[in-house]
Amino acid sequence: MTLRHSKDFFDQRFQSNIITTYEQAVQNDLSFTHTFVNPQTNRSTQYDEFVHDLDDEAVIAARNLSETEDGIIIHGARLLATQGGITDELLVLPAASPIMEPAYAFAFTIPSNEKGIHFYCREPYAPNTKNNTFNYPLSSRFDEIDTIIVFDHVLIPWERVLFYKDCERAQSVYNQTDLNLLLLFQAVSRQIIKTEFLLGICESMASTISITQYQHIQEKISEIIVTLEIMQALLYRAEIEGAKNHFGMFVPLATPLMVASTYYQKTYPKLIQSLQQIGASGLISLPTEADFSEEISSPLHHYLKSQTLDGKGKTQLSRLAWDLTMSSFGARQTQYERYFFGDPVRLSSALYNSYDKAPFANAISAFLKS
């Protein structure tokens, strides 16, 4: 949507491609995954990730090998296509980099089942068994799968190309179209919902085992409340102070969204730790649904009951808390939020560099002079 309404950003040769892509997505209800991360081959400051050798064995990050009358040939790998392999389409955007080589400066869309595209998926987090929503309430429903994409000499038709060999657009597409800003807007909205969900689980857990009267429990849950209210306030300000950009598209105010994202990256792991501490050993020895089978007249209904729930109900709630905090799915969620949108230190630096600090420093200077 953002790219479509920023069509004038693109070269006239390719403007119709993004319009057609958008219209087809709307008309046919297409789902997209996306990728804009290169493989982590070498993160040293001296390493140049752009390979100039066209030999297949030398190429790692996906690059443009050549052009034909029909389109461009892409070969190499990309990372972190969430839902890869189960969406209709794939949107490929340039990997963010202060240095850009023409062979890596491209963007395009392509059907996920195009010949030569391979999705390598991590293993699912929930066991592949029926009626698994009790034991894995989140993993069994919301595991999106993360994939590595390998392009094996894939032909990208010209009508699918958004730009190529265009270093200027590759380096500016995220900011000039406000794509980064709209991604942040979606992310902060999601983080608020996730915090509401987390607050609900913490309060339910504490109430079930009757520990809400303890001040250290109140402090932990209050920290989640504070996080929720801060995030909601920042989102609200971003919406209220939004404005049209130079493409005529209404976009939220950037600064509060940047603050919210930077804040949440560092806060979410602490909130998860609070839920782990509230659940304590109750999140360790968790029976499965089968242990409450009527055929064995399970004594766990009695021995695991709480003030408000029978043993099965309490276990079901505990398994939900466990799946969010301690399962493979939960660990992935924590790592995802910790590094969402990039390295936390780099994002903090970006916020520092973009924030107008001069009025505050000038006020101090004026105060001292007075």
If one compares 44 and 76, the residue with the highest pLDDT of the two is: 76
What's the N-to-C CA distance of the chain in angstroms?
Answer: 52
Find out whether 39 and 128 touch, Cβ atoms under 8 Å: no
Which among 207, 180, 19 has a CA at the least distance from the CA of 93? 180
**How many CA atoms within 13 Å lie on the side-chain side of 78?**
30
Domain with CATH 1.20.140.10 in the chain: 178-359
Contacts of 168 (CB under 8 A, 6+ apart): none
Task: State the average pLDDT over residues 285-294.
Answer: 89
Q: Is the pTM of this model over 0.85?
A: yes
Lowest mean pLDDT among 50-54, 182-186, 264-268: 50-54
Cα 175 off chain centre by: 18
Contacts of 284 (CB under 8 A, 6+ apart): none
Q: What percentage of the chain reaches a pLDDT higher than 90? A: 84
The two beta strands, 32-35 and 89-92, are parallel
- SS3 percent helix, strand, coil of the chain, rounded to 5, is 50, 15, 35
Domain with CATH 2.40.110.10 in the chain: 2-174
Over residues 206-224, the pLDDT tens digits come to 999 999 999 999 999 999 9
Rounded to an integer, what distance in angstroms lies between the CA atom of residue 108 and that of residue 96?
15
CATH 2.60.120.10 assigned to domain 2-174? The reply is: no
Architecture of domain 178-359: Up-down Bundle (1.20)
pLDDT at 296: 73
Backbone angles phi, psi at 121, to 5 degrees: -95, 145
Which among 267, 240, 271 has a CA at the least distance from the CA of 253? 240
Task: State the average pLDDT over residues 95-108.
Answer: 89
Q: How many Cβ atoms from other residues are within 10 Å of residue 231's Cβ?
A: 25
pLDDT band, residue 297 (cuts 50/70/90): confident
Q: Where are the beta strands (DSSP E) in 37-102?
A: 63-67, 71-78, 89-92
